[in-house]
Amino acid sequence: MPENPLIAALRLVFGPMVERAKDWPPVLAFGLPAIVAVLLIAVLSPFLSTGVLLLVGGVIFMILACYIVVVYREIPSRSESKYQKPVATINQPFKNKPVDRTILCNGTATGIQDNMHLWLAVETYDKKVRIWPKEGELVVNKANDCWSSTIFEDGATQQFSIAVYLADNVGHQFILDWLEAGRLKGEYGELMGINGTERLTRVEGLTLS
């Protein structure tokens, strides 16, 4: 049985809009269909009697109300699914184990956005926290969420940790400038903290063998 022409017209008008609206800002997602509904009724009004027009208008706004309910539920869920909190792991080296001065490090990282940066750093806890970022921003393989890097440690203290830091653009630039200043001086000053960064994970109790 052929579809009712009015239902077919409404499906044609609102169908693509429902799909696209899931990615629209709420104001546009809800406002544009309402405007389309009003214009549709205005276009039909010269051809319909008042009673039929009221009936058609009621049907259109009922469909619009259903549309708004569906999109209202979809927009938050879509937004939440798009955001993934940054998470990182260190699989190597192992906690409370001796390591060589050349240390192979690897792990995983997910939820790292384009404006975020990952860095390895050595931390010590001799009365106060001291941080030394290590050369080379971490690059995450998008195929398997893995990263790997080799760092060098000269043993500032007997025991230390290796941490993965998440940096925004400010923290990233600070680390780059700090590394460059250290290369020019031939020594790297200790840091008590780095603005624009957040430690995601660390492995503790490392000692040089």
| Domain containing residue 135: CATH number | 2.60.40
Band (83; pLDDT cuts 50, 70, 90): low
Same domain, residue pair 25 and 69: yes
| Inter-residue contact 146 to 135 (CB < 8 Å) | no
Q: Which among 82, 101, 124 is the end of a domain? A: 82
Pair 93, 78 in one domain: no
Res 28: pLDDT: 55
What is the domain count for the chain? 2
**pLDDT of the residue at 58:** 73
Looking at the fold, whether 119 and 59 belong to one and the same domain comes out as no
Residue 175 and residue 93 in one domain: yes
Q: In the prediction, which pLDDT does 74 show?
A: 54
- What's the confidence (pLDDT) of residue 25? 60
Last residue of a domain, one of 23, 56, 82: 82
Same domain, yes or no: 111 and 201:
yes
Q: Are 202 and 162 a contacting pair, CB within 8 Å?
A: yes
Residues 121, 64, single domain; the answer is: no
pLDDT higher at 28 or 35: 35
Residue 104 has pLDDT above 90, yes or no: yes
pLDDT at 160: 93
Same domain, 112 and 150: yes
User: Is the model more confident about 199 or about 16?
Assistant: 199
* Edge-first strand listing for the sheet containing 87-92: 87-92, 102-110, 146-152
Q: Which of 32, 56, 82 is the last residue of a domain?
A: 82
Percentage of the chain modeled with pLDDT above 90: 49
| Whether 76 and 167 share a structural domain | no
| Per-residue pLDDT at 18 exceeds 80 | no
Arithmetic mean of pLDDT over the chain: 81
- Whether residues 15 and 50 share a domain: the answer is yes
pLDDT for the residue 65 = 67
Same domain, 123 and 203: yes
In whole angstroms, give the CA distance from residue 175 to residue 39: 57
Are residues 77 and 127 located together in one domain of the fold? no
- How high is the pLDDT of residue 87? 96
Contact 121, 133 (CB under 8 A): yes
Domain extent, residue 59, equals 5-82
pLDDT in the model for residue 4? 54
The answer to whether residues 158 and 197 belong to one domain is yes
Answer with the residue of higher pLDDT: 156 or 61.
61
Residue 154 makes CB contacts below 8 A (sequence gap 6+) with: 101
Could you tell me the pTM of the whole model? 0.62
